[in-house]
Amino acid sequence: MDDGRVATFERVERDGVAVHTVPSIFEACGVGVAFSERTGGVSVGPYASLDLAGHVGDDPESVDRNRDLLFESVGIALLRDVLTTAEQVHGTQVAEVTRDVAGCGALVEGGRSPLKGVDTLWTRERGIPLMLMYADCVPVVLVRPSVPAAAVVHAGWRGLAGGVVRAAADAMGGLGGEDDLIAFVGPHIGACCYEVGRDVVSHFESRFATIAAASFHLDLGAVVTQELVRSGVPEGRQCHLGICTAHNTDRFFSHRAEGQTGRHGALAVIL
Ligand SMILES: [Zn+2]
């Protein structure tokens, strides 16, 4: 917070598992935020090695073990059973995670399913870790320190075109108190590597001044920035990690660069 920004990321590596965390937010309101890298896990082949997703063809036991390793690395192994995940369908549906659904999707093998049809999870309960999985799409974590409350958002181009960021901010906005949302934007594919068709650009050119109609490189980060501003999170309250997944396949999974691959994660928990 010294350089004028609301918070800054810190890369922490423990037992080969690397995450990008935000220590100042944890100190301020007890919300832990972590964006994982792909190293330090047990998955092999295209999923090497810390693949966290159960739906991309990896061995389920390996994925569950990788989730164990991530939780051990960030010091919340005791909360592994109540990890809550979502189906992620590139939609805009938001789910508030309360005690009765805690643990849905914790395990790939066995247990209750991830929350169906949902692309945003949020909670104001302590001790329920929320996690969504990504390989190029934009991971957004929203924190409202005054409650405290935290959300994890899965934002690909379809979700962004549909208003997934706004829906997430709105869900957390009805809590009263000050308008103090802070946004953390994790690793995602950069405009450098995200060439798209005319049809995709057409969803954005009219609503986003920064998206040039003539360009076939879609800047998802710029779209997220603007969507956050429109949702009441000014740029001064946004922290962007600014790493392109496709440019850094040694550290992150990239569907665009690799095709069949694993998923890294965005994790938020109120402790
Ligand atoms: Zn790139």
CATH number at residue 226: 3.60.140.10
| Mean pLDDT, all residues of the chain | 94
249 CA to centre of ligand 1 in angstroms: 10
Domain contains 38: yes
153 CA to centre of ligand 1 in angstroms: 21
Domain contains 3: no
250 CA to centre of ligand 1 in angstroms: 13
241 CA to centre of ligand 1 in angstroms: 13
- The pLDDT > 90 percentage for the chain reads 86
- The pLDDT > 70 percentage for the chain reads 94
Domain contains 51: yes
What SS3 string covers 201-234?
HHCCCCCCCCCCCCCCECCHHHHHHHHHHHCCCC
Reply yes or no on whether the pLDDT at 84 is more than 90. Answer: yes
Residue found under tokens 């979700």 = 159
* pTM recorded for the entire structure: 0.96
Look at residue 177 in the predicted model and tell me its pLDDT: 56
Reply yes or no on whether the pLDDT at 19 is more than 90. Answer: yes
84 CA to centre of ligand 1 in angstroms: 30
Q: Residue 192 belongs to what domain range? A: 10-270
135 CA to centre of ligand 1 in angstroms: 13
Look at residue 4 in the predicted model and tell me its pLDDT: 58
Look at residue 61 in the predicted model and tell me its pLDDT: 98
16 CA to centre of ligand 1 in angstroms: 24
Higher pLDDT, 91 or 201: 91
Q: What is the pLDDT of residues 110-120, one digit of tens each?
A: 999 999 999 99
- The average pLDDT across 95-121 equals 97
Look at residue 214 in the predicted model and tell me its pLDDT: 63
Domain contains 191: yes
204 CA to centre of ligand 1 in angstroms: 20
Look at residue 1 in the predicted model and tell me its pLDDT: 41
Domain contains 4: no
Look at residue 178 in the predicted model and tell me its pLDDT: 62
List beta partners, residue 36: 19
Strands 94-96 and 182-185: unpaired
Q: Report whether the peptide linkage leading into residue 46 is cis, meaning its omega lies within 30 degrees of zero.
A: no
96 CA to centre of ligand 1 in angstroms: 33
132 CA to centre of ligand 1 in angstroms: 22
- The average pLDDT across 109-130 equals 97
Look at residue 212 in the predicted model and tell me its pLDDT: 66
Strands 238-240 and 182-185: parallel
159 CA to centre of ligand 1 in angstroms: 21
Q: Residue 254 in contact with residue 115, Cβ under 8 Å? A: no
- The average pLDDT across 44-58 equals 97
Q: What is the pLDDT of residues 193-248, one digit of tens each?
A: 999 988 898 888 878 766 666 678 899 999 999 999 999 999 999 999 999 999 99
3-state secondary structure of 189: coil
194 CA to centre of ligand 1 in angstroms: 7
Q: Nearest-5° angle of CA 33, CA 37, CA 42?
A: 120
Reply yes or no on whether the pLDDT at 2 is more than 50. Answer: no
Look at residue 121 in the predicted model and tell me its pLDDT: 98
Domain contains 218: yes
Strands 149-155 and 120-123: antiparallel
Number of domain units in the chain: 1
2 CA to centre of ligand 1 in angstroms: 29
Domain contains 1: no
103 CA to centre of ligand 1 in angstroms: 35
Domain contains 2: no
